[in-house]
Structure 1
Amino acid sequence: MSIPTNFPAGTRQERPEQSSIGQRLLSAKKAYTTRFLADALEADASGYRLLSGPDVIPVPGDIVLARVERIGQLPRLESPVSRRQALFVGDEVLVAYANRYAPDQVLAEVPDSLGPCHLVAAGGLAGMVTVSHGAVGRPTQLAPVGLLANSQGRLNLKGFAPYALDPDAEPRVRPHVVAVLGTSMNSGKSTAAACLIRGLTSAGLRVVAGKITGTGAGGDPRLFHDAGAVKVLDFTDYGYPTTFRVETAELGSLAASMVNALAAQGPEVIVVEIADGVYQGETRHLLNSGVLHTLVDSVLFAAADALGAFAGVELLRAAGHAPAAVSGMLTVSPLAAAEAAAELDVPVLGTYELTSAETAMRFLAPAHQ
């Protein structure tokens, strides 16, 4: 591909470095969210250009080459293979614009210009921090150089993703699907999901896994692989850097598309995680949308304490879902687990109890009797 010279009017495209843009892209530190772009660059780094200027307004998923101006809260960038790369002032990075909602960390939004912005997640997200948790320091600051484009125009993560939404996705014949939800961030959802995957594979079942919503990062998908899932997908495989502020109908299509793609692997069980807490906007809308009633057969709920477990079970039931069991961080405390067990009419299972084949199969018993 040759580098085009007929750029759209109103953008400052005539850069001295355009002739070496491919080398700059190859040299830049890539993020986990831009891993599919990294593969494409390794195959052929020619034909790319950078869009800049006051009329260039980023949207979620747009890819930006940016320079690190200040090291702050996030001093490392997760690489395409999930290695934590140390950042230095002056580094150039390839990250994606995204909105982020993380009560334990920050609220961040895609800015309305290519002005200075922040690294808002180590997985490789650029945005403007608008609200911070009291324990979070000042953000790492980025200076955007330009949005990635080619001769057809600007490029988005969805253009490099190996999977695409099926706009008419309808649930097909599929195995038992378990959804893992929780009270909040850090309630133990991912660990509980991984332990359940381990227990089911220990019972001799073929298990696949997915993460429908969340913030792009490699830790949870790799955890599910390590637990024994033979195939793992998450929203980044569909070109979403995060799912914050994605419309409910689109999330429903993502959920159905992912479950169908996982079912095509011929598993006996599908385990999917829905990130953040049941009060988080996208999660709550998804719970009440009816999509999960069609896709999900049973629910495992993770909570950090007994009160959260009780409230969460009641909220799920009000939305038409009947949790089969409660687990998560509360089970680290025998006293908290006992409090929850005294108030709930569903089992409270220690997270690592789920690694037992017997426990896991008891959880899924209705589907396998």
Structure 2
Amino acid sequence: MGIDTQIISNENTESYTVGDTRLTLDSLRATTIKAAYTTRFVSAELNRNPQDFNIVASSTMAPRAGDVVIAKVTEIGKHTALQSPHSRRQKLFVGQEVMVAYGDRYAPDQFLAHVPANLGPCQLVAGGGVASLVEQQHASIDRATELEPVGLLMRGGKVVTLSDFAPLSIDNPSVNASAQVQGHRVPVIAVLGTSMNSGKSTTLGCLVNGLSNAGLRVAAGKATGTGAGNDPNLFTDAGAFSVCDFTDFGYPTTYRLDYDTVRELLVSMIQEQSATGADAVIIEIADGLFQGETSRLLCDPIFKEHVDRVLFSAQDALGAKAGEKILLDAGLDLAAVSGVLTASPLAAAEARAHMESEIIDTFDLCDPQVASALLPTR
């Protein structure tokens, strides 16, 4: 490790001179750092060419969402494991180094956290690999796992960000996606919910499975939320032949992204997945209808332009009824209501007594006839 003065460039090509602590990585050091799901594309390049990277720390550095940081685990809390690039749960131990990405998090059941202003101590706020500074947390959970940043990962004098190695980009669509804009329109269903843990991902997975059982090629994606491998893996297991999420576009989370980026991300994801040769595209929108970016998307004409129908997941009858009203008032085509609500016959009966929309048990969506009936008709 040595002390140097050098020019450091951030992701927006701003340059500044600082006295920094710079650590050159060798292949052994690179292989001992535990990479996270969010940093999987960066990790692949680091393992191939560790000599191209170094770790730089300075008191004047201000990290940004998407910057890759090497940090030491100093205390185990809520997250006792870190999802690997292949989404395996890697048990964490104090003193280990991890490679995660800075990001903001909005999770009513867990943490509200924002990217810190410096490289001081912070927390692991998501098992998929998000470092942030906790501002609030749910009363029922443990405090977040503590991290001490060693420094930002750098390559060629620039701070490494997730977008540097992401396979997809909202600014540079793939050739197939560009052609798709002028070509055949693939049916698109969006899955939304009342909140976290309302059953959105399971609902989407069952719908994918049902459409696959009907002989259709289904592509799936998760357009907003916090980076983790659980949901993409579920969609793949359910039968989707093509799966992506916002981390494939270089974002660790979508919370606090500027709204134009959020809407462009949704459209780009739909176009990329439509261009795969899919017969149907199913997209999850994270969190609940009142969450900031979700609420704005529902009222945006671009949502109705690119999404044909919505499938809604609810935790209880009242939430189902309220969600139905919000979605219909937004002028959206509500195909049906499902989710955690349907695990309770009593709750489902309450909902059916007060709603116009069809209530479908989550796992009934695996039936090819039930699933196919939800596709838009043109």
Query: TM exceeds 0.5?
Result: yes
Letter in 2 for 1:146: G
Q: Tell me if 1:129 matches 2:134.
A: yes
Aligned-residue offset at 1:150: 1.4
Residue from 352, 355, 366 that aligns with 2:366: 355
Q: Which residue of 2 aligns with 1:90?
A: 95
Aligned-residue offset at 1:73: 1.0
1:137-187 CA-to-partner distances (Å, cap 9, x unmatched) read: 111100001011112411100001000113798954321100000000000
Cα gap change, 1:10 to 1:315, in 2 (>3 Å): same
CA contact (8 A) 2:313 2:320 kept: yes
Letter in 2 for 1:68: V
Q: Tell me if 1:141 matches 2:146.
A: yes
SS class of match (1:276): coil
2:36 & 2:345 partners in 1: Cα distance? 39
1:178-221 CA-to-partner distances (Å, cap 9, x unmatched) read: 00000000000000000000110111111110100010000100
Q: Tell me if 1:11 matches 2:18.
A: yes
1:61-90 CA-to-partner distances (Å, cap 9, x unmatched) read: 000000011111111101011111111110
**TM-score normalized with structure 2 length:** 0.92
Residue from 174, 179, 185 that aligns with 2:190: 179
Aligned-residue offset at 1:322: 2.5
Alignment of 1:233-248 (within 5 A): 233-248=244-259
1:350 & 1:19 partners in 2: Cα distance? 55
2:282 & 2:24 partners in 1: Cα distance? 47
Q: Which residue of 2 aligns with 1:212?
A: 223
SS class of match (2:18): coil
Aligned-residue offset at 1:104: 0.4
Q: Tell me if 1:160 matches 2:159.
A: no
Aligned-residue offset at 1:365: 5.9
CA contact (8 A) 1:167 1:253 kept: no
Q: Which residue of 1 aligns with 2:38?
A: 33
Aligned length: 363
Q: Which runs of 4+ in 1 moved over 2 A?
A: 8-15, 18-26, 166-174
SS class of match (2:153): strand
SS class of match (1:184): coil
Q: Tell me if 1:99 matches 2:109.
A: no
Residue from 278, 282, 289 that aligns with 2:289: 278
Query: How big is the alpha-carbon RMSD for the aligned residues of Structure 1 and Structure 2?
Result: 1.9
CA contact (8 A) 2:25 2:55 kept: no
Q: Which residue of 1 aligns with 2:10?
A: none
Letter in 1 for 2:250: G
Segments of 5+ residues of structure 1 without an aligned counterpart are none
Q: Which residue of 2 aligns with 1:317?
A: 328
Q: Which residue of 2 aligns with 1:291?
A: 302
Aligned-residue offset at 1:267: 0.9
Paired-residue identity, %: 48
Q: Tell me if 1:269 matches 2:280.
A: yes
Aligned-residue offset at 1:25: 2.7
Segments of 5+ residues of structure 2 without an aligned counterpart are 8-15
Cα gap change, 1:171 to 1:323, in 2 (>3 Å): farther
Q: Tell me if 1:75 matches 2:86.
A: no
SS class of match (2:286): strand
**Structure 1 stretch displaced more, 226-235 or 167-176:** 167-176
2:121 & 2:221 partners in 1: Cα distance? 34
CA contact (8 A) 2:204 2:284 kept: yes
